[in-house]
Amino acid sequence: MTDLETVHRTGLVPAPLSRDLDGDGTPRRTVRLGAQTALAAAPGTEDTARWLRATLGAAFGLPLPPGSADAPDTLALALDPALPAEGYRLDADARWGVRLTGGGPAGVFWAAQTLRQLLGPDAFRRAPLGPDRAARLPEQTIEDAPRFGWRGLMLDVARHFLPKDGVLRYLDLLAAHKLNVLHLHLTDDQGWRIEIRRYPELTATGAWRRRSRLGHRHSPLWDPRPHGGYYTQDDLREIVAYAAERQITVVPEIDIPGHSQAAIAAYPELGNTDVVDTASLEVWDTWGVSPHVLAPTDTTLRFYETVLTEVLALFPSRFVHLGGDECPKEQWRASPTAQGRIAALGLDGEDGLQSWFLRHFDRWLADRGRRLIGWDEILEGGLAEGAAVSSWRGYAGGIAAAKAGHDVVMCPEQHVYLDHRQHAAPDEPVPIGYVRTLEDVYRFEPVPPELTDDQAAHVLGTQANAWTEAMDGQQRLDYQVFPRLAAFAEVAWSHLPAPAARDYQDFTSRMADHYARLDALGVGYRPPGGPLPWQKRPGILGRPFDGAPPNV
Ligand code: ACM
């Protein structure tokens, strides 16, 4: 096979809308990017020009000096408002070079991601392998645009902290897969990960736990090392800016009123002090759903308004995620304060109290030009006006929300919870939840058939969720997330047919090229043949799905 044939066959992931490799029947020639190749960036394409110089420049040693779009041997970036905002056209022609034309800045950036894939795995390295490893691609035309506007990954940085470098690396990995939302789960029972200037104990106390359960919550094992960490406000500004340069929105999540033990450990007055001695509460060291939830008091409301004021200053995202999931009601049932609030406001019991919490912050966010998004429990007791739903306990919440005119992000745990094991074999590391293979994720359909076209328009898109109870670092995270995120990216971006009609063989043949890219990037994915010896975690108890809810 010649080099040209090799690059000619390069499989793209996610698959584009159309790709013309045959032209008008004339033999296709090779387009080379070399030391003389200029980069012409029209206004609005500067971020992509900077990214190309940093990325392809480093991989191939290309200087990419500024040039004019109509000169030969040019990589030309332009906008064409006739294209969809995230859509693009890529033209590669040996006579003049490569043109990347986007409907908007995002379209140009996604075109650059496609170009990088066409240049082969060397394009995913950070230094040139040698003068014989030129940047080249066959002449071709690609037209492309995404199916969904919300193509996300949720990273749980609360259960196990992912240091800032790891987050920036994941932003690069999202960009390489044309994903455009990073949902950061910043707070939970086991840790508070965002610096709040007004309340320093949230991180001084709330970011650290004494030890961690090793494996599933029924495991007898402990990791005796203290664990924790947090992002300073400057770290988060850097993460947000790095994401924005890659056309990615970072959606922060501050989980209320449940999943709040770390906050209560830092500020005991946030808890139900008339029911439990919250002064002796620590950041939780095990997994599951803590009974320690926020007290429905004015003190709590004012506290979280202050927290969210600082959150809004850091995150320009239109949507702010306020959790709302898994809020046990036992403490509220026992608390005279909570019961008094229910009576005074005429609320419908404890569910009504949860709804009251979320409605308060929904209004508060709306007054500041933002929109609340929460897990589908926020439907219980009535959904706040304008709120959007992350449908995680299956499709039902998303269907109900879309039928009621609310926007939805589909992320059902039965399909796209990447903490769940990806094979039934016993040597999967800390196996929990359902078996969801690469093919299962490839056949995930975000829009359920129950929705009419008008209702389906409320499905903003989809996201995969990576909860990290059983992932204590980047290697474990990579193993759970990849290669399934590549299949997920194709579901979110490409215009695939109905699940049964999807050509999984074609996807796996393109994945052969994609694994080479992931190798060049140093991603510790699960190999198709199963875990490598050092990817196994023998003896650490997981909890395969056995009929009971798989929640860890
Ligand atoms: C969730 O998995 N508790 C949203």
CATH number at residue 65: 3.30.379.10
Whether residue 71 is found in the same domain as residue 167: no
pLDDT, one tens digit per residue, over 182-200 is: 999 999 999 999 999 999 9
Domain end marker among 144, 175, 197: 144
Residue 544 domain-assigned? no
pLDDT, one tens digit per residue, over 31-89 is: 999 999 999 999 999 999 999 999 999 999 999 999 999 999 999 999 999 999 999 99
Number of structural domains found in the chain: 2
Burial of 360 (0-12, 13-18, 19+ CB in 10 A): middle
Whether residue 85 is found in the same domain as residue 166: no
DSSP string, 222-235: EE-S-EE--B-HHH
Residue 505 domain-assigned? no
The tokens describing 293, both together, are 């939830």
375 CA from centroid of ligand 1 (Å): 7
Whether residue 324 is found in the same domain as residue 391: yes
Whether residue 282 is found in the same domain as residue 427: yes
Residue 522 domain-assigned? no
Residue 546 domain-assigned? no
Q: What rounded mean pLDDT belongs to the chain?
A: 95
| Stated length of the chain | 552
Average of pLDDT values for 235-242? Answer: 99
Whether residue 169 is found in the same domain as residue 48: no
Whether residue 194 is found in the same domain as residue 103: no
DSSP string, 496-532: ---GGG--HHHHHHHHHHHHHHHHHHT--PPPTT---
pLDDT beyond 60 at 229: yes
Whether residue 332 is found in the same domain as residue 357: yes
3-state helix, strand, coil in the chain (%, to 5): 35, 20, 45
- Whether the bond between 14 and the residue before it is cis, its omega within 30 degrees of 0, is yes
Beta bridge partners of 138: 30
Q: Kindly report the protein residue whose alpha carbon is nearest to atom 2 of ligand 1.
A: 392
pLDDT attached to residue 23: 72
The answer to whether the predicted template modeling score (pTM) of the entire model surpasses 0.85 is yes
**Which CA distances in Å does 197 have to 283, 306, 309, 368?**
20, 10, 11, 20
Residue 528 domain-assigned? no
Atom of ligand 1 nearest to the CA of 259: 3
DSSP string, 407-462: -EEE--HHHHBTTS-S-SSTTSSS-EE----HHHHHT--SS-TTS-HHHHTTEEEE
Give the residue numbers spanning the domain of 62.
3-144
183 CA from centroid of ligand 1 (Å): 13
Determine whether the shortest distance from the Cβ of 375 to ligand 1 is under 6 A: yes
Specify the DSSP element, H or E, that contains 295. Answer: none
Residue 552 domain-assigned? no
The tokens describing 137, both together, are 């691609």
Domain end marker among 88, 115, 144: 144
Burial of 225 (0-12, 13-18, 19+ CB in 10 A): exposed
pLDDT attached to residue 1: 38
Average of pLDDT values for 438-456? Answer: 98
413 CA from centroid of ligand 1 (Å): 8
pLDDT, one tens digit per residue, over 407-443 is: 999 999 999 999 999 999 989 999 999 999 999 999 9
Determine whether the shortest distance from the Cβ of 80 to ligand 1 is under 6 A: no
377 CA from centroid of ligand 1 (Å): 9
Q: Domain with 399 in it: what CATH number?
A: 3.20.20.80
pLDDT beyond 80 at 27: no
Whether residue 138 is found in the same domain as residue 156: no
Whether residue 137 is found in the same domain as residue 170: no
Domain end marker among 144, 164, 181: 144
Whether residue 280 is found in the same domain as residue 136: no
Task: Tell me the pLDDT band of 132, cut-offs 50, 70 and 90.
Answer: confident
Atom of ligand 1 nearest to the CA of 323: 4
Atom of ligand 1 nearest to the CA of 467: 2
Residue 543 domain-assigned? no
Residue 548 domain-assigned? no
Other C-beta atoms closer than 10 Å to the C-beta of 52 total 24
Q: Among 156, 321, 326, which is best to mutate for testing ligand 1, by the most ligand atoms less than 8 A from CB?
A: 326
Whether residue 337 is found in the same domain as residue 468: yes
Q: Among 293, 380, 392, which is best to mutate for testing ligand 1, by the most ligand atoms less than 8 A from CB?
A: 392
pLDDT beyond 70 at 152: yes
pLDDT attached to residue 37: 97
Whether residue 292 is found in the same domain as residue 246: yes
In the block, which residue shows the tokens 């969720």? 465
